[in-house]
Structure 1
Amino acid sequence: RAGCAIREIFDKEGESGFREMERRVIAETAAGETPLVIAAGGGALVDEGSLALARQRGVVVFIRSAPQAIVERVKKNDKRPLLHLPAGQDYEKRLLSHITQMLEQRMPLYLRSHFLIDRDGLEAEDVAGLIVAYLEKMS
């Protein structure tokens, strides 16, 4: 939507600029009438206002993974600026520590989701099935 990669936005605007863009997109999306599924990044709903709006206008699902599982998924991905650490000695250990700290800070907000799924050991199709079953129970 911004016409460039997330890393470029972080480089040009910093995290605060990225988060402001994210807040605007969440607000615009929430104002629409078309039902949507939004796969938001881990920081998208850390903003109190965005979380409140998402909870009011939709169903918020928190897909929880163990920190080590997150490390395995992201350690070779340079598209996540907040998880990009300098390579070198103890890289995975430092990344695990960083992710654990971020999760601890964010968890109180994550736990305000309508529905929580523990993802570890599940395939994407299993997670999708759990979400569909939850939504069907709600309707």
Structure 2
Amino acid sequence: MVSKIILVGMMGAGKTTIGKLLSNKLDYDFIDLDKTIEEKSGVKINTIFEIEGESGFRERELQVLNDSILKDKVIISTGGGIVTNEKSRTQLIKHNALIIYLKANHQTLCNRLKNDNSRPMLNVDNKEQVIERILEEREPYYQDLADMEVDTSQMKSIDVIKFIIEKMDAK
């Protein structure tokens, strides 16, 4: 059985929800990198973006990833933009983890994120355009890193968990 599972994908694809459910099912620890960054820094991610910019946030994200990825029996939910940092991408692939790309189509992401003001990159008037641009930019990275892809657009969370476990058992 795999001892490390890393969830990558766009904001709104379901990484935190699926990560928590999967960790309960497999009896693994669950680490949400964004939440860990907030706990360690004592401030919200929006505040980090305002003060340090995206590059400062990505450095913090890399540090938390480096600590988290050393654990066994762990499921790590990454931030959607972790793949934009080359050092983070290197860390993701070097630790013999199962990397699962949770994907969702543009319309599903827009529907899930339309009322979400907690994400710094979506604090804009044209959320749909920003989501489309970000998805276009990041999807090649997600696909390149992934050992498994799961489209969460039309699936219930419990069905996503079943699908992942079936695929893991088949390997």
Q: TM-score, normalised by structure 1?
A: 0.85
Instruction: Name the counterpart of 1:47.
Output: 85
1:55 to partner: Cα distance: 2.2
Aligned equivalents of 1:46 and 1:126: distance in 2?
29
Match of 1:114 among 119, 132, 147: 147
Match for 2:43: what amino acid? C
The unaligned stretches of length 5 or more in structure 2 are: 1-39
The TM-score, its normalising length taken from structure 2, stands at 0.70
Query: Which of the two has greater strand per residue?
Result: 2
Aligned residues: 130
Supply the distance in 1 between the matched residues of 2:108 and 2:169 (Cα, whole angstroms): 29
Bigger Cα displacement from structure 2, 129-138 vs 38-47: 129-138
- State the structure with more CA Rg: 1
Pick aligned residue for 1:79 from 118, 122, 127 = 118
Asked if the contact 1:6–1:81 (Cα under 8 Å) also holds between the matched residues in 2, the reply is yes
- AA at the equivalent of 2:159: D
Tell me what 1:90 maps to.
none
Cα separation, partners in 2 of 1:60 and 1:83, compared to 1, 3 Å: same
SS in 1 for 2:82: coil
Q: Percent identity?
A: 28
Shift of 1:67: 0.9
Alpha-carbon displacement from aligned partner over 1:14-53 (angstroms, at most 9, x marks no partner): 11111110011111222x2322111112102222221232
**Counterparts of 1:52 and 1:6 in 2: how far apart (Å)?**
23
Give unpaired runs (5+ residues) of structure 1. 87-93
Q: CA RMSD in A?
A: 1.4
Name the CA distance, whole Å, in 2 between partners of 1:59 and 1:45: 15
Whole-angstrom CA distance in 2 between matches of 1:132 and 1:12: 41
Give 4+ residue runs of structure 1 displaced > 4 Å after superposition: none
What is the Cα deviation at residue 121 of structure 1? 0.8
Q: Aligned to 1:5, which of 21, 33, 44? A: 44
C-alpha distance in 2, partners of 1:54/1:33? 13
**Aligned equivalent of 2:53:** 14
**1: distance between equivalents of 2:82 and 2:161?**
20
